[in-house]
Amino acid sequence: MILFGLYSRNSPARRQPDHTNPVLPLRRPSSSMAATAAAEAFSRRLGAAVRGLSGAWYGRHMAAADRAIRARLPLVDLVLEVRDARIPATSAFEPLRRRSQEDLDGRRIVALNKADLADPSETQKWVAFMKQRGCSSVAINSHSRESIKELLNVVRSKIREIKLGENDCTGTVLLVGIPNVGKSAIINAMHQIGRIGAAEKGKLKHAIVSSHPGETRDISGYKVASHPNIYVLDTPGILCRTFASDECGPRLALTGAIKDSLLEEHDIAKFLLALLNLRKEYRDWDNLNRMGDKSCLADGTSGRSQHTKRQYSSDHTQDFIVKAVRQVLFETTVSFQGDLGNENELRRLVDSQFTSLQNAFRLSAESSEDMNKRVAIKLLNLYRTGRLGHYTLDHVPEVRHEVVA
């Protein structure tokens, strides 16, 4: 058994682990043990549903891509592994997890994408944690030009280092990661910036970007830079059949790495609400709603006159809808008189929040099952786009090298 950074004598391997791919249980933010245990009940239920799928996402195309990637790993100059900054450990790429740091021989860069959706302080800790263990790491936002420029500069520098300083060399980069971490968006953004100095300007192909996990099926090459010439191989996202811990499945489902259609959106959203209710960030939402912020001003108009911006109650991304959702979650949590450390009480709060969110999302009355699904889909979308705050679900482990008897 492995307990919070302590390696068991019965662990499968007694060699020194690769701490850039931690698989041990992760340190949680400070909270009462009872409240944490109550929230874990939601995680267990969702985790059981994920396990019940028996790797339904791992089809023939993913198995073939897995073999193709493993075959190319020794042949490329550099491996660029993309992870989700909200779950840096959980989103580790399994084929790399099985290779030691020495085997990669300094040929890997870990890009923590979607850093704009994660807790900035936690992201900084993860970047420092990986660098301390000899793995180059950079936090990025694939939709930020400056962020992609920084990543491209890191890749250029690494290729020159591998090629012993040559400027007119050619380097190959294998882009890998689990589904829906933004690999195609990254390669397109790198291509857009890098092609400006390329002789083939305007003639280089783009990768297809999809919001649904598992859309990339083949390995394709794209030129992203000149001097040195850099070609990036975009690969399909691969998710292993089984996960390193019971916590992985729920976190992958919440961040969208597993298709929602394979699970019940209602269960994923309940897990989300359980997490939100036990964190302190919701306390800021009341101030945000009253004072306004960059994405959601108090009057819901983002600084424009109501005459120049039409408001559609059917669009849950409208600022005034987001404001109402934040307000509902804030009020239901602060007014709750029950014990959040009690699983049944926490479940009662979550159920009441679903009912209140129906009005916040301005949904017309339908059957309870259909209503819960509609609320869940809209709520998950707001979380995944950062409208409900920036959260990191994986925290840097406190690794100690004691052995438990």
pLDDT grade, residue 209 (50/70/90)?
very low
Selected residue with higher pLDDT from 203 and 107? 107
User: Helix crossing, 319-334 with 282-291: angle to 10°?
Assistant: 130
What are the tokens at 100?
Answer: 């030691």
Phi, psi of 398 (to 5 degrees): -90, 90
6 located within any domain:
no
Phi, psi of 298 (to 5 degrees): -60, -30
Structural domains counted in the chain: 2
DSSP string, 55-72: STT--HHHHHHHHHHHHH
pLDDT at 166: 76
Q: Are strands 220-225 and 170-177 parallel, antiparallel or unpaired?
A: unpaired
78 in the same domain as 121? yes
Side by side, which strands form the sheet with 108-113?
136-139, 108-113, 78-84, 170-177, 229-234, 220-225
367 located within any domain:
yes
pLDDT at 176: 96
DSSP string, 126-180: HHHHHHHTT-EEEE--TT-HHHHHHHHHHHHHHHHHHTTT-SS-EEEEEEEESTT
pLDDT grade, residue 16 (50/70/90)?
very low
- As a whole number, the mean pLDDT across the chain is 79
5 located within any domain:
no
7 located within any domain:
no
272, 111 Cβ separation under 8 angstroms = no
Which of 17-21, 35-39, 230-234, 295-299 ranks highest by mean pLDDT?
A: 230-234
Phi, psi of 181 (to 5 degrees): -100, 0
Q: What is the pLDDT of residues 295-353, one digit of tens each?
A: 443 333 344 444 445 556 668 889 999 999 999 999 999 899 988 888 999 999 999 99
| Pairwise CA distance, residues 336 & 342, whole Å | 13
Task: Dump strand ranges (E) for 163-302.
Answer: 170-177, 220-225, 229-234
Contacts of 143 by beta carbon, 8 Å cutoff, 6+ apart: 116, 185, 189
pLDDT grade, residue 65 (50/70/90)?
confident
47 in the same domain as 68? no
Q: Look at 67-71, 118-122, 347-351 and tell me which has the smallest mean pLDDT.
A: 67-71
300, 323 Cβ separation under 8 angstroms = yes
28 located within any domain:
no
pLDDT grade, residue 240 (50/70/90)?
confident
| Pairwise CA distance, residues 340 & 347, whole Å | 9
**Residue 114: closest CA among 148, 144, 140, 152:** 140
351 in the same domain as 254? yes
pLDDT at 346: 93
188 in the same domain as 103? yes
Q: What CATH number has the domain bearing residue 63?
A: 3.40.50.300
Question: Mean pLDDT throughout 274-289?
Answer: 74
* Rounded-to-10 torsion of CA 293, 336, 374, 208: 50
278 located within any domain:
yes
What type of residue is 47?
A: G
pLDDT at 29: 40
Selected residue with higher pLDDT from 97 and 274? 274
Res 128 pLDDT > 50 = yes
167 in the same domain as 255? no
Determine which helix (DSSP H) or strand (DSSP E) holds 102, and give its type and residue range: helix 101-104
pLDDT at 30: 40
Contacts 24+ apart (CB under 8 A), 265-268: 265/373, 265/376, 265/377, 265/380, 266/372, 266/373, 266/376, 267/42, 267/45, 267/46, 267/49, 268/46, 268/376, 268/380
193 in the same domain as 46? no
Q: What is the pLDDT of residues 365-377, one digit of tens each?
A: 766 668 899 999 9
Q: Are strands 229-234 and 170-177 parallel, antiparallel or unpaired?
A: parallel
DSSP label at residue 100 = -
pLDDT at 57: 85
Collapse the DSSP code of 394 into the 3-class scheme (helix H, G, I; strand E, B; otherwise coil) and give the result.
coil
pLDDT at 268: 96
User: Which of 188, 215, 234 delimits the end of a domain?
Assistant: 234
Q: Are strands 403-404 and 7-8 parallel, antiparallel or unpaired?
A: parallel
pLDDT at 34: 63
Q: Look at 113-117, 152-156, 160-164, 193-197 and tell me which has the smallest mean pLDDT.
A: 193-197
331 in the same domain as 269? yes
| Pairwise CA distance, residues 258 & 181, whole Å | 11
Res 362 pLDDT > 70 = yes
Q: For 319, how many CA atoms within 13 A lie in the half-sphere containing its CB?
A: 19
122 in the same domain as 228? yes
**Residue 296: closest CA among 188, 382, 396:** 382
DSSP string, 284-323: HHHHHHHH--SS--TTSSTTS-TTTS---TT-TTSHHHHH
Selected residue with higher pLDDT from 64 and 308? 64
199 in the same domain as 323? no
Q: What is the pLDDT of residues 262-280, one digit of tens each?
A: 999 999 999 999 999 988 7
Selected residue with higher pLDDT from 391 and 301? 391
Which of 29-43, 169-183, 214-228 ranks highest by mean pLDDT?
A: 169-183
Question: Mean pLDDT throughout 104-129?
Answer: 94
Output Rg (C-alpha) for the chain, integer angstroms.
22
**Residue 134: closest CA among 102, 159, 97:** 102
Residue 90: domain span: 59-234
User: Which of 212, 234, 256 delimits the end of a domain?
Assistant: 234
279 located within any domain:
yes
| Pairwise CA distance, residues 186 & 190, whole Å | 6
183 located within any domain:
yes
User: Which of 214, 234, 254 delimits the end of a domain?
Assistant: 234
195 in the same domain as 135? yes
Which of 110-114, 156-160, 241-245, 370-374 ranks highest by mean pLDDT?
A: 110-114
Res 394 pLDDT > 60 = yes
Q: Look at 125-129, 132-136, 272-276 and tell me which has the smallest mean pLDDT.
A: 132-136
Question: Mean pLDDT throughout 230-257?
Answer: 91
260 in the same domain as 118? no
**Residue 112: closest CA among 73, 72, 51, 154:** 154
Res 3 pLDDT > 50 = no
278 in the same domain as 152? no
